[in-house]
Structure 1
Amino acid sequence: MDVDDVVPCTREGDLALLRAYEPVIRYTAGELFLPTAVDAYVGQAGLWRRRPGERRDECLARPGEVTLERLAAEGKRFAGDGLYLRLVDSPMHGAEYRRWRREGAQPSFRPSSRFAAVGLFARLVDAGLRLSLLLRGTVPGGTRAAAHRLYVTRMRANDHPYYARVSRDGGYVALQYWYFYPMNDWRSTFSGLNDHEADWEQVTIFLGETLDGSLRPAWVAFSAHDEVGDDLRRRWDDPDIEFVGTHPVVYAGAGSHAGAYLPGEYVTTVPLEWPNRLAAGWRRVVRTLLPWARNTPETTAGIPFIDYHRGDGPGIGVGEHRAWRSVLVDDDTAWVRDYRGLWGLDTRDHFGGERAPAGPRYERDGTVRPGWANPVAWAGLDEEYPTAEHGAVLRESRATWLEGRLAEIAAEIDVRRRASRELRASDRARTAYASGAGADKAGRRDRTRDGRETIARLHAEQTGLREELDAIVRARSQPPVEAPHAHLRRRALPLTADAPRQRFLAIWSAASVSVMLAGVALVVISPPIGLLWSFAGLMALMLAIEAAARGRLVRFAATMAAVGAAVFAVLGAVEVVVRNWRAGAAAVLILAACVLLVGNLRAWLTTR
């Protein structure tokens, strides 16, 4: 298909578009689960219902009894209840699990030193998170092996469909490719954050409709961990995107299946909800008390993990050993529309990461996904025109409005300028010849000031609009060219070759949490210089070793010196105030008197 063809809005036309641009997905060596057919999956899963007000869940259908038709029917019947599929009833343990490992079911995978890529605090949080898995409703590690055995023996492991939807909105044709995986094994196989039964991922390609009705590829968006809005999408000519003909290449995350544009290893940060809420509240307080701090950038707390997008494993699509099968879905597809439940085990994990996802149309809470309801808005394209031709037309429309507005402003300036001059002439005449001319002096001064401020505002608007119109005129002969990454707030890039990989750092990062816990235990048992100072010394020593391992010891020493000086200054000030409270109170009162005096003088001068 030629990219400039006019494609009819028919099922055959939609399938032709989907085949012309279907992505190529490359996986990391060691990947256990590839996209599979949903009917094969549900045929091996049981369907469960969480009954409101009851602790025990009800089994609606056993494995082997569920079909897509029944899934839709039960979803419609229990639309208000929490439904979920359960693939694995009994995780592998003991000898069975060891036999699965010996069978070579899991290909070899050589991880990086993921702890070396993150800081000491992140490693501490990571350790606490892993300990908390014992108390949370998590998917146990043996589920991976049991799910994999079902996948390779009963789910047509060589059949790789994508569930595609075509929508048209705002001058764009959105081609959505949804992929279903039997399991997300990011944690158990690749030391990531979570495991959960089932996984839905997607790629969306946006074609811009030209003025003559033909279609041209404009944007592509991969589902990813950290990106939202503008950061989700990339321009079709982005140099980060690799193509096989007209097919963009997606580097899927190992176990997580999230998409990346460049192959490599990425640091993915999982935000911490409660610390970020506290930090947001503290920022509001600081910005209220300190006006000059209002423009400080916002930061979020999170746990970094390594997400492997190496692309050295199996691949699906054009030029790869495995091929896609196209399946069209839409809002009339019964299992998509009527089943709002989860596609795997509902662990009731309050953190959300260990719960199975809902389907392509719904979020876990049963609401429609923004990416399904409004793909154009989801990708931040409401403000982006589909093609360069649209941009030229819109610029000319804007130029026409600007010319009209400039004419209105010029006329308004003339009227107000004449009124101000008439008032000035009258004021001078009254000053010279009228008795009691000073009686309305304040009122005339206010009218003069208002007229001057209005004319100044109009002149400022006029200047800005003239510059905008001049830019549009110049664009007629030389259309503007924007850099491919101009719309990105944060460009996701893999770790570079100079990322920390030194042997000492790798050893220290692996042992640091254990060393710190052992040090805390020794301090608790027998603090050498008092409990508080011993803890402070231990933390300083740990941070110093961390800084040395990363080649930042000088910066760390300078920072500690600055912090020590600030603490010493604060403590000294507190000491002075405590010992000489009268002088401190007098200084505060004198400062308050000066502030009030300056404010009152300024208010008095503005009325003169």
Structure 2
Amino acid sequence: MSEHEDVSLLQRFEPILKFSRDEQFFPYNVDDYVNKSSLWVKEPKLPPREIIAAGELELEHLGHLKLEGARTVHYLQFSSLMNLAEMAEYRLNELRKTIKTGKFNPSRSRLARVGYLARLVDTAFSLVLLLRGRVPGDSAVAAMLTFKEMLAKNRSFQYYGRVIRDNGWIVLQYWFFYPYNNWRTGFYGANDHEADWEMINVYAYEDQQGDVQPAWVAYANHNFSGDDLRRHWIDPELQKVGEHPVVFVGGGSHASYFTEGEYLMELSLPILSFFSKYKNRLNHLFSRVTQNNQTRANDEEKSQRIFSIPFVDYATGDGFSIGFGCEASWAPPVVIDPPPEWVTNYRGLWGFYAQDPFSGEDAPAGPRYNRDGTVRLAWFDPLGWAGLEKVVPPFEQGAMLASRKADLQNGINDLTREIDELQRRCYALGFDLMVIQDSSHLQPEVVELNRILASERETLAKKRRRLTVEQAKLEAISEIDVEDAPPNMALLRAHIKHSHKPQEKRSLRFNRVAEIWAAVSIGLMIIAVVLLVIFARPFLGYGLVGLLLLMITIEAAFKRQLANLVRWIAIILAVFSLMVLVVQFFWYIILAGVVITGVYMIISNLRELFSRR
């Protein structure tokens, strides 16, 4: 197809982006961004060096750049540091704005959503953030002011599109470039970094009349991959306006969601996954013992992992919006397939290189590349990225059904012939064995025949088991009607293992006090432990147990879980009492068990004896 037809397709399904209140950065064109940026290089053991100054850099320069050195990092720098006067002026203006219109305020503290262990891990993460490389604190402010100047000169909102035709699918890929990710400084998230490339895919196909029909969409997201990224076009979770899918964009993070809400994101630490696994098993056992399925049935509680760092992504959709019927419209798309040179040749970072060992504060590479210079999965395999490599396009399902029926029937016929042949061979071996097994001079042959017969019998059992499975598959496939069957939503959502569900808006008892407690509890606990060590060392054990019980009780009271706490304590005390009894009367219990076993054996044997008469 021509580029004009590709542009028409992209515009037909172009998404509607709904942002959270107080979002400061929106999809923009890379030309103006690059022109406002400088180009730098960081070589091993050398300080960063500026190559091209801001104002002199053009997008074409990135396409002609020769990047050399496996450990050399090229990067753009969008924002320059502010002086104290500029920062003070900005803070004063923000204060005036806050007084007039208010500012972003989360509905509930992120720390109040999780327990003590997650808060403790979060404290450690915050301390590590002070030591590792990160974007300077005033970088977000400088980027915000620069972007406002850019919008004042050119208030247009841009996306970059690709149309990929792959094995019956038409993939419409929408790339959005944000000048800055201010998740940490703007929305209490995990990280900040200059530049942010985000994307969504719409998967369509041509029907028998040659018309393009949408089938699936997939949104890029922090904690999800593969099958979990996509929803069917008729899935009620996917909101649409006409043929335009609605994307709820995370505040500052720019992650994409199907439904508006607040999403608890948890950065799991691999070093603590061992403890998390056994914590989940203990919770499962507890729910079975108490016959309380409420916790297991609640998706929010199931998803929380105590050995992780909690962050909230605010995709509330109550702010600015771009797209069909919104307050702002999209500029004509820029098609990047075939990719221009700035996409293909520039493997460097699109913003500041903070030298963060975890890479969270480093800018990303372009739409084609990962930070390490390898090609993104979403770029070279958009079907596999969303788990669609195994899904047949709708217009090919009838042919696939007929083909699979024929293949299965042929396989069943082949298996039947093989089984018949193996059965005859087993008959022959069994007959030979019956004839010669009493001949003393043929005993070595008897041993060999027994070995061969055992092997053939095992092979025959495997083939019969395989035949049963193949027959069941053919029976199941024969019952499918791909032409007239109504859509089965359960099947269309069966691929989802972890759904994108926002947190339920639950109230805490004494909500504001509970949030303050969540913020100070870990610090108070650390101080209390130190005081116990200094002033009450002889009673340290009792003090720690008392402190733990006090903190658990306070937390349970705030979260309305005192009943669960009482059940836990009752079970622990019962188990402890049982252990004490077992230790105290160990030999009596063993002897009683032996006596009971003997009595049971006598009764069982006498019952069998008298039942014969």
What TM-score range do you get, normalising by the shorter chain? Answer: 0.7 to 0.9
Q: 2:32 aligns with which of 19, 26, 40?
A: 40
Tell me which amino acid in the other structure corresponds to 1:146.
Answer: A
Q: Secondary structure of the residue that 2:36 maps to in structure 1? A: coil
Is the alpha carbon distance of 1:353 and 1:431 closer, same or farther for their aligned partners in structure 2, counting shifts above 3 Å? closer
> For the Cα contact (< 8 Å) 2:205–2:213, is it kept in 1?
yes
Counterpart position of 1:603: none
Tell me which amino acid in the other structure corresponds to 2:466.
Answer: E
Cα deviation, residue 448, structure 1 = 3.5
Q: Secondary structure of the residue that 1:348 maps to in structure 2? A: coil
**Structure 2 Cα separation of the partners of residues 115 and 35 of structure 1:** 31
Tell me if 1:481 matches 2:488: yes
Is the alpha carbon distance of 1:445 and 1:558 closer, same or farther for their aligned partners in structure 2, counting shifts above 3 Å? farther
> For the Cα contact (< 8 Å) 1:172–1:208, is it kept in 2?
yes
The root-mean-square deviation of aligned C-alpha atoms, in Å, is 3.2
Cα deviation, residue 471, structure 1 = 1.7
> For the Cα contact (< 8 Å) 1:36–1:157, is it kept in 2?
no
Q: 1:510 aligns with which of 515, 519, 528?
A: 519
Q: 1:449 aligns with which of 444, 454, 472?
A: 454
Counterpart position of 1:580: none
Counterpart position of 2:54: 63
Residue deviations 1:158-187 (CA, integer Å, cap 9, x gap) = 210101111121221111111111111111
**Structure 2 Cα separation of the partners of residues 298 and 265 of structure 1:** 14
Residue deviations 1:304-358 (CA, integer Å, cap 9, x gap) = 2111111110100001010111111135312111111111111111122111111
Counterpart position of 2:431: 425
Counterpart position of 2:90: 97
> For the Cα contact (< 8 Å) 1:253–1:259, is it kept in 2?
yes
Tell me which amino acid in the other structure corresponds to 2:218.
Answer: A
Q: Secondary structure of the residue that 1:74 maps to in structure 2? A: coil
**Structure 1 Cα separation of the partners of residues 246 and 14 of structure 2:** 9
**Structure 2 Cα separation of the partners of residues 442 and 436 of structure 1:** 12
Is the alpha carbon distance of 1:431 and 1:65 closer, same or farther for their aligned partners in structure 2, counting shifts above 3 Å? closer
> For the Cα contact (< 8 Å) 1:240–1:261, is it kept in 2?
yes
Alignment of 1:35-434 (within 5 A): 35-54=27-46, 56-74=47-65, 76=67, 81-91=72-82, 93=84, 95-102=88-95, 104=97, 108-113=103-108, 114-155=110-151, 156=153, 158-210=155-207, 213-276=210-273, 301-325=307-331, 326-387=333-394, 389-430=395-436
Tell me which amino acid in the other structure corresponds to 1:74.
Answer: L
Counterpart position of 2:22: 30
Q: Secondary structure of the residue that 2:79 maps to in structure 1? A: coil
Q: Secondary structure of the residue that 1:133 maps to in structure 2? A: helix
Cα deviation, residue 473, structure 1 = 1.8
Q: 1:468 aligns with which of 447, 456, 473?
A: 473
**Structure 1 Cα separation of the partners of residues 148 and 258 of structure 2:** 29
Cα deviation, residue 65, structure 1 = 1.3
Is the alpha carbon distance of 1:575 and 1:151 closer, same or farther for their aligned partners in structure 2, counting shifts above 3 Å? farther
> For the Cα contact (< 8 Å) 2:509–2:557, is it kept in 1?
no
Q: 1:541 aligns with which of 538, 547, 550?
A: 550
Tell me which amino acid in the other structure corresponds to 1:109.
Answer: F
> For the Cα contact (< 8 Å) 2:509–2:560, is it kept in 1?
no
The 10-residue stretch of structure 1 (220-229 or 567-576) with the greater mean CA deviation from structure 2: 567-576
> For the Cα contact (< 8 Å) 1:97–1:142, is it kept in 2?
no
Residue deviations 1:557-586 (CA, integer Å, cap 9, x gap) = 444555567678889999999xxxxx9xxx
**Structure 2 Cα separation of the partners of residues 175 and 131 of structure 1:** 42
**Structure 1 Cα separation of the partners of residues 5 and 446 of structure 2:** 77
Residue deviations 1:21-59 (CA, integer Å, cap 9, x gap) = 0000000111111111111111111111112331x1110
What TM-score, normalized by structure 2, do the two folds share?
0.82
> For the Cα contact (< 8 Å) 2:121–2:308, is it kept in 1?
no
> For the Cα contact (< 8 Å) 1:330–1:336, is it kept in 2?
no
**Structure 2 Cα separation of the partners of residues 568 and 526 of structure 1:** 32
> For the Cα contact (< 8 Å) 2:19–2:315, is it kept in 1?
yes
Is the alpha carbon distance of 1:371 and 1:142 closer, same or farther for their aligned partners in structure 2, counting shifts above 3 Å? same
**Structure 2 Cα separation of the partners of residues 392 and 118 of structure 1:** 49
Q: Secondary structure of the residue that 2:334 maps to in structure 1? A: strand
**Structure 1 Cα separation of the partners of residues 453 and 372 of structure 2:** 61
The 10-residue stretch of structure 1 (70-79 or 396-405) with the greater mean CA deviation from structure 2: 70-79
The 10-residue stretch of structure 1 (87-96 or 496-505) with the greater mean CA deviation from structure 2: 496-505
Percent identical across equivalent pairs?
Answer: 36
The 10-residue stretch of structure 1 (445-454 or 60-69) with the greater mean CA deviation from structure 2: 445-454
> For the Cα contact (< 8 Å) 1:86–1:344, is it kept in 2?
yes
> For the Cα contact (< 8 Å) 1:91–1:140, is it kept in 2?
no
Gaps in structure 1 of 5+ consecutive residues: 1-8, 284-296, 578-582, 584-608
Tell me which amino acid in the other structure corresponds to 1:455.
Answer: L
Is the alpha carbon distance of 1:337 and 1:429 closer, same or farther for their aligned partners in structure 2, counting shifts above 3 Å? closer
Q: Secondary structure of the residue that 1:161 maps to in structure 2? A: coil
> For the Cα contact (< 8 Å) 1:260–1:309, is it kept in 2?
yes
Cα deviation, residue 213, structure 1 = 4.6
Is the alpha carbon distance of 1:574 and 1:354 closer, same or farther for their aligned partners in structure 2, counting shifts above 3 Å? farther
The 10-residue stretch of structure 1 (220-229 or 536-545) with the greater mean CA deviation from structure 2: 536-545
> For the Cα contact (< 8 Å) 1:36–1:180, is it kept in 2?
yes
Q: Secondary structure of the residue that 2:222 maps to in structure 1? A: coil
**Structure 1 Cα separation of the partners of residues 262 and 154 of structure 2:** 27
> For the Cα contact (< 8 Å) 1:30–1:108, is it kept in 2?
yes
Counterpart position of 1:20: 12
Cα deviation, residue 85, structure 1 = 1.0
Residue deviations 1:490-526 (CA, integer Å, cap 9, x gap) = 1110112346575253343233223223322322322
Is the alpha carbon distance of 1:546 and 1:205 closer, same or farther for their aligned partners in structure 2, counting shifts above 3 Å? same
Cα deviation, residue 298, structure 1 = 13
> For the Cα contact (< 8 Å) 1:20–1:247, is it kept in 2?
yes
Cα deviation, residue 528, structure 1 = 5.7
Tell me if 1:520 matches 2:529: yes
Cα deviation, residue 151, structure 1 = 0.6
**Structure 2 Cα separation of the partners of residues 393 and 499 of structure 1:** 54
**Structure 2 Cα separation of the partners of residues 136 and 456 of structure 1:** 61
**Structure 2 Cα separation of the partners of residues 500 and 316 of structure 1:** 35
Cα deviation, residue 482, structure 1 = 5.3
Is the alpha carbon distance of 1:89 and 1:476 closer, same or farther for their aligned partners in structure 2, counting shifts above 3 Å? closer
Tell me which amino acid in the other structure corresponds to 1:184.
Answer: N
Cα deviation, residue 140, structure 1 = 3.0
> For the Cα contact (< 8 Å) 2:220–2:229, is it kept in 1?
yes
The 10-residue stretch of structure 1 (197-206 or 155-164) with the greater mean CA deviation from structure 2: 155-164
Cα deviation, residue 439, structure 1 = 6.0
The 10-residue stretch of structure 1 (28-37 or 513-522) with the greater mean CA deviation from structure 2: 513-522
Is the alpha carbon distance of 1:92 and 1:148 closer, same or farther for their aligned partners in structure 2, counting shifts above 3 Å? farther
Q: Secondary structure of the residue that 1:65 maps to in structure 2? A: coil
The 10-residue stretch of structure 1 (525-534 or 231-240) with the greater mean CA deviation from structure 2: 525-534
**Structure 1 Cα separation of the partners of residues 142 and 320 of structure 2:** 21
> For the Cα contact (< 8 Å) 2:276–2:307, is it kept in 1?
no
**Structure 1 Cα separation of the partners of residues 366 and 382 of structure 2:** 16
Gaps in structure 2 of 5+ consecutive residues: 280-302, 591-613
Is the alpha carbon distance of 1:78 and 1:103 closer, same or farther for their aligned partners in structure 2, counting shifts above 3 Å? farther
**Structure 2 Cα separation of the partners of residues 563 and 170 of structure 1:** 59
